[in-house]
Amino acid sequence: MIAFDVLILGSGLAGQSLALRLADKLKVALVTKRTLEDSASAWAQGGIAAVLDPVDSTESHIQDTHVAGAGLCDAEATRFVVENGPRAIDWLIEHGVPFTPDSQSSIGYHLTREGGHAHRRVIHVADATGAAVQATLTEQVRQHPNISIFEQHIAVDLITGDKLGRPGEGCLGAYVLDIAKDQVLTFAARHTALCTGGAGKVYLYTTNPDTATGDGIAMAWRAGCRVRNMEFIQFHPTCLYHPQAKSFLISEAVRGEGGLLRRPDGSRFMPEHDPREELAPRDVVARAIDFEMKKHGLDCVFLDISHKPAAFLEEHFPNILARCQELGIDITRQPIPVVPAAHYSCGGIVVDLHARTDVAGLYAIGESSGTGLHGANRLASNSLLECLVYSESAAADILAHPRPLPSGLPSWDESRVTDSDEAVVISHNWDELRRFMWDYVGIVRTTKRLQRARNRLKLLKREIDEFYSNFRVSNDLIELRNLVETADLIVRCALHRKESRGLHYSRDYPEPQTRARDTVLRPTR
């Protein structure tokens, strides 16, 4: 048994910022499936939204968040995040994040504007904000003597008092597979934090890294936590369409800086779909692109910013320009082929303002959590802000409420399982899951499609549970088990919602109901 004060599962911005906020006073274990650098946070291009400009206001940011969230944003959580936003940015600056400077700006940094925002309030590092933030914090995490890093380790499941017949003890740690050694370790912890990111890999096309398999959401559900609003999956409107460009997204900021969406014949279409045109929220833009592709039988549409000076593009979008050039696309002279792709999970594990879940000692931060901030649709660049604000409040709560170190935790039992000789079962089920989720639970939904998906999921869950019970765990099996669990939660939430709101669009219920309500699922004990 390996014991720590705090066990953090996941190494994105939520996990790393929490670790750094705690490590001066507590012993922290940071567990990551690959390396510290592999996370959705590192892929974030646009930036972090916060009220920094004197002409902007907290109330404006709150209002923009509510409008994007289609009336479903939690008012308390939204105000909490927005009001604490400037301090979160200060914390990053103090830690050395090199935000793009602007000598003409009153705050000394360049602020960009993205879809859904009334003001320029997105602070950024060129077009690779997440990578810059992650690199800055990773260096400090690796150097901190109180942070023990476990790379190439994946959590199998949480250990709770309820599972051990010790009710009331809450979360006691987790079983973790050392992938390289093929050995399951027992981690005991006073506090455990799920910073495991989203579930984009449940879909065939996604902007997410391969690690986004819904692990935290599935583990929390199995541990007895509620989840909410899982039906609201944000599809990024503009993922680069190219056979060699896996999961490369074209930042929201490209449209914010004047990029125009066009059909193959060069004609624009966003003015026909929304008065905000290219600056409409992501769900509107994604549905418009989906509509145009299906109506005209297109493989993709085109995002054109070639009318901007080349020097402007080199300054603001150096990474997008370079990646496109590698693929033979010169964005200074030609439009970028794009398609929508699953991008962000707006719902997740129910938490309070301290990131506490329903299980004592268990926290959830970032995309795996359901704070209520994003409502039915996330406002651009609010996600990294949420990670920072909730990691601060969780750290304060952990330090203020010490818990005893768990003892007597049983080791992982492999006495009744064998090595699998049918790995094809995992790969086949993984492929089938992602394809029918894309076809049946995508941008536009129907009740019949959702019911088909639910029926397939019941069969897949049965097969995977049987496989899990009889064979030794592997990285692929753990991820597939979590993906199927998370997919089922998405479909169940979607079937509960008898309306179209935000990211959930149903042909059977095209109008929103008068009152916006959360979809909350409770696990049966």
Task: Judge contact between 512 and 375, C-beta under 8 A.
Answer: no
26-42 b/e (C-beta count within 10 Å ≥ 16 → b): bbbbbbbbbebebbbbb
45-69 b/e (C-beta count within 10 Å ≥ 16 → b): bbbbbbbbbeebeeebbbebbbbbb
User: How buried is 14 (Cβ within 10 angstroms: 0-12 exposed, 13-18 middle, 19+ buried)?
Assistant: buried
CA neighbours within 13 Å on the CB side: how many for 58? 11
Task: Judge contact between 96 and 143, C-beta under 8 A.
Answer: no
* Six-digit token string for 455: 């029926």
- Which residues make Cβ contacts (< 8 Å) with residue 236, sequence separation at least 6? 207, 249, 252, 282, 286, 340, 341, 342, 343, 344
Is 282 among the residues known to form the active site? yes
CA-to-CA distance for 309 and 440, rounded, in angstroms?
Answer: 42
CA-to-CA distance for 119 and 62, rounded, in angstroms?
Answer: 12
- Length of the chain in residues, anyone? 525
Q: Classify strands 444-445 and 122-123 as parallel, antiparallel or unpaired.
A: unpaired
Order the strands of the 369-370 sheet from edge to edge: 369-370, 348-350, 227-228, 520-521
Q: Which residues pair with 506 in a beta bridge?
A: 445
Q: Classify strands 369-370 and 336-345 as parallel, antiparallel or unpaired.
A: unpaired
* Six-digit token string for 463: 């097969």
* Six-digit token string for 441: 């639970």
Neighbours of 407 (CB within 10 A): 9
* Six-digit token string for 489: 């939660």
Torsion 356-359-363-369 (CA) sign: negative
> At residue 164, what are phi and psi to the nearest 5 degrees?
-95, 5
DSSP state of 299: S
- What is the maximal distance between C-alpha atoms in the chain? 68
Which residue among 113, 190, 282, 497 is the active-site one? 282
CA-to-CA distance for 274 and 287, rounded, in angstroms?
Answer: 11
- Which residues make Cβ contacts (< 8 Å) with residue 102, sequence separation at least 6? 108, 109, 110, 111
Put residue 42 in one of left, alpha, beta given phi > 0 → left and psi -120 to 50 → alpha.
alpha
Task: Judge contact between 379 and 281, C-beta under 8 A.
Answer: yes
CA-to-CA distance for 342 and 204, rounded, in angstroms?
Answer: 8
Residues marked active site are found at 282
